[in-house]
Amino acid sequence: HQTVGPMAGTISPSAPVWVVENKAFGNRAFCRQVEGNQQFGDYSDQALQGLRMWRDVWAPTMRKALHTIGGLDLKPIISQALQMGDELHNRQTASSSLFANAMAVAMALTDLPNKGEMVGTLKYVTNHQMIFLGLSMAAGKAIADPACDIEYSTIVTAMCRNGVEFGIRVSGMGEEWFTAPAPVLDGLYMPGYSAKDAGLDIGDSSITETVGWGGFVLGGAPGILSLVGGTPEEALAYSREMLKITVTTHPTYRMPALDFMGTPIGIDIRRVIQTSITPIIDSAIAHRDPGYPKIGAGLLRAPLDCFKKALIAFSRKYSTN
């Protein structure tokens, strides 16, 4: 369904989703609400209440406001946020704030007779520092999808994890997944948790790295290092390293800390194999058991085996022998 979800976040038929349209190619992609409980496997009543509020109040109010203004362009928000320390995978402080301001105006222009719901939604959107993650994930999916199914293309069109396996898709290989065991994250833990509590890498949010955000722009987002660990110099080095496995840099999305270098985009499985450099991803750490909130965040490398398997299959498919 061209849909992505954060962590173990399920999407039921009645759940409103973010809808992002790629106007250049006419495709749409979707992502569910980002919250801190049910998407980590917590089914307590308090966790489900957050989903009900989203379904009954926050999403309908925002939907009405978005219709008033005829939708909202995400590119200006994303390009600004990348110059304000967001990497759009685990840090959305700037993009969420910019998005909230646009929503505040849209809501003010909309006839919302239930003032309590209007104020509640405005407080929700202006105080949710990760609200833009649902939008950056859907935007990543909307950007990547038109690159799928291009004959001979060795570009990665998806990377995702389910807590057991890590999988990638490659443009010239259609819908086939190339998988390897999901890695352990190297990161920092919230008080009371440690590496022995950690589950393996999970969630669709690495669609952001697939389009050159997240770990790929860590050099421009040093604020996240207090969450994932490491030094500013290491973060800058990751962003420069990703140039070696991508085919270009983005003309609009730029990082001031790297002299306004464009974000590295278009992971090429041939370059990954030639260099043995795999994509760097920064991600949240879920508990190995359900019912806990986010217990930490850290860095990981996409497994090299996914890329090896993909290149071997690619060679077989396109071999002219």
- Residue ranges in contact with its own copies by CB under 8 A: 80, 83-85, 93-94, 97-98, 100-102, 104-105, 108-109, 118-119, 122-123, 126-127, 222-226, 231-232, 256-260
What is the SS3 assignment for 130?
coil
Q: Which is nearer to its own copies, 80 or 315 (CB)?
A: 80
Is the CB of 98 or the CB of 273 nearer to its own copies?
98
**CA-CA distance, 228 to 239, in Å (whole number)?**
15
Give min distance, CB of 225 to its own copies, in A: 6
Choose between 133 and 144: whose C-beta lies nearer to its own copies: 133
Nearest distance in Å: CB 291, its own copies: 31
In this complex, which beta carbon is closest to its own copies, that of residue 23 or of residue 123? 123
For residue 259, the minimal CB distance to its own copies (Å) is: 6
Beta-carbon contacts of 103 under 8 Å, excluding residues fewer than 6 positions away, are 62, 65, 66, 72, 122, 125
CB of 87 to its own copies, least distance (A): 12
Contacts 24+ apart (CB under 8 A), 312-318: 313/173, 313/176, 313/178, 314/154, 314/170, 314/172, 314/173, 314/269, 317/172, 317/173, 318/152, 318/172
Using the minimum distance from each CB to its own copies, give the nearer residue, 111 or 289: 111
Cβ-proximal residues to 198 (8 Å cutoff; 6+ apart), any chain: 184, 185, 189, 285, 286, 287, 288, 295, 296
State which H helix or E strand residue 304 sits in: helix 304-318
User: Taking the complex as a whole, how short is the minimal distance between the CB of residue 52 and its own copies, in angstroms?
Assistant: 22
